[in-house]
Structure 1
Amino acid sequence: MAGRAAAHVSDLIDQAEKAWALDDDVTNARINALSTRILEVARSVERSFEVQCRARGLNTGELLVLDALHRLGLPFEATPSQLRQHFFISFAGIGKRVNALEALGYVERNQQVTDRRSQKIRLTPDGLAILRAFEGRQHRVPHRVAIASMESAEQEMLAMLLRKLHRQIETITATMPDSTAQS
């Protein structure tokens, strides 16, 4: 245990936690510090994605649409409603991303034969190639390198804790009135 304590290096969030504990109780200070740390990690991951996307003329939302189409499997297509299930954004937001990806030649739209009002968005060979180019560079993406440097047990523990935290937040949010959840 002494090795682990020695390996712990204080950072700005730890310092903030100590200061918060002077004005508030230790539990609230810890919650503030953990929440801040989660936000900072998320921002670091997002910046890493943004750099990777910009290098290929995309934004992260557009990459996520390509990835969602790919995850759905062959023939790598979905309706806007199906895509919306993978994101917490409006149809207009999906439409904006699909328009940009279509202009780049990474997706194509096809009218449904049975319902001309509906369409499928399909990943093109160029869209699949751009995803594979991202995959080929994964070993140089900072957040992936950092996670890969963790021991397998640490990765599993982190995943378990983040899943648990996410489920708890979603459960609590679902039971709160809208005005409480937003304030």
Structure 2
Amino acid sequence: MADSSETRPDFADIAVTHWERERPDLDFTAMATLARFARLHIAGSRRVDAVFAAYGLDRGEFDVLASLRRTGAPHEMPPSQLAEILLITRAGMTKRVDRLEARGLVARRADPEDRRSLRIGLTPEGLDLIDAAVAEHTANENRVLGLLTDDEAHAFDATLRKLLAALEGSTPKQA
């Protein structure tokens, strides 16, 4: 089946054509691809955020709950470790945890090995909510990537992995 988007100019093609006319001295080869990628990020984020909103969560709150859930029982960790995993400041983590705690989705408790430290853990309500939200989230993501063939999806993933490794210069930390 032919993909009409390959033959019909899109917003990126038009912008590049305009730039090539105005600045023929520059190479705009990457511009269309990266503009499409940026727009894909925006469109994908809207779909993802809509799922989170249906569960009363924003992206940051989902990330906290999901990080706790995927660590396995007892679904808890120190707030500093959560902040490190999520690449946010400790102050930002405190704000997220405060909101989630006020809703009864997480609880703070003293660390049994170091009573001066805290651990953040999912409550039963938080566990139920994140389990439901992550089920819908993964279905949503699979619908998006389902627009590609398996070969296209694997190639896309491999390409993104290569670009990220080169731009970030390191491998992701294991949580």
The CA deviation string for residues 94-134 of structure 1, in whole angstroms up to 9 with x for no partner, is 11111111111111111113323311111122112112222
Report the Cα distance in structure 2 between the residues aligned to 1:139 and 1:163, rounded to whole angstroms.
Answer: 19
Report the Cα distance in structure 1 between the residues aligned to 2:165 and 2:121, rounded to whole angstroms.
Answer: 31
The 1:116/1:138 distance shift into structure 2, 3 A limit, reads: closer
In 1, are the aligned partners of 2:66 and 2:134 still within 8 Å (CA)?
Answer: no
- Are 2:84 and 1:81 aligned? no
The 1:156/1:140 distance shift into structure 2, 3 A limit, reads: closer
Q: CA deviation at 1:139?
A: 7.3
Q: CA deviation at 1:12?
A: 0.6
Supply the AA of the counterpart residue of 1:129.
D
- Residue equivalent to 2:173: none
The 1:39/1:117 distance shift into structure 2, 3 A limit, reads: farther
The 1:171/1:27 distance shift into structure 2, 3 A limit, reads: farther
Greater shift in the superposed pair: 131-140 or 49-58: 131-140
Stretches of structure 1 lacking an aligned partner (at least 5 in a row):
173-183
Supply the AA of the counterpart residue of 1:164.
K
Stretches of structure 2 lacking an aligned partner (at least 5 in a row):
171-175
Report the Cα distance in structure 1 between the residues aligned to 2:3 and 2:156, rounded to whole angstroms.
Answer: 19
The CA deviation string for residues 56-113 of structure 1, in whole angstroms up to 9 with x for no partner, is 2211100011111112122111111211232121111111111111111111111113
The TM-score normalised by the length of structure 2 is 0.84
In 2, are the aligned partners of 1:79 and 1:119 still within 8 Å (CA)?
Answer: yes
Question: Percent identity over the alignment?
Answer: 31
- Residue equivalent to 2:28: 29
In 2, are the aligned partners of 1:18 and 1:29 still within 8 Å (CA)?
Answer: no
The TM-score normalised by the length of structure 1 is 0.80
Q: Please report the RMSD computed on the Cα atoms of aligned residues, expressed in angstroms.
A: 2.4
- Residue equivalent to 1:168: 166
The structure with the greater share of residues assigned to helix is: 1
Q: Show structure 1 runs of 4+ deviating over 4 A.
A: 3-7
The residue correspondences of 1:119-158 to structure 2 (distance < 5 A) are 119-138=118-137, 141=140, 143-158=141-156
SS of the aligned residue for 2:35 comes to: helix
The 1:45/1:7 distance shift into structure 2, 3 A limit, reads: closer
Report the Cα distance in structure 2 between the residues aligned to 1:48 and 1:14, rounded to whole angstroms.
Answer: 25
- Are 2:67 and 1:59 aligned? no
Greater shift in the superposed pair: 9-18 or 151-160: 9-18
Supply the AA of the counterpart residue of 1:82.
Q
Supply the AA of the counterpart residue of 1:62.
E
Q: CA deviation at 1:156?
A: 0.8
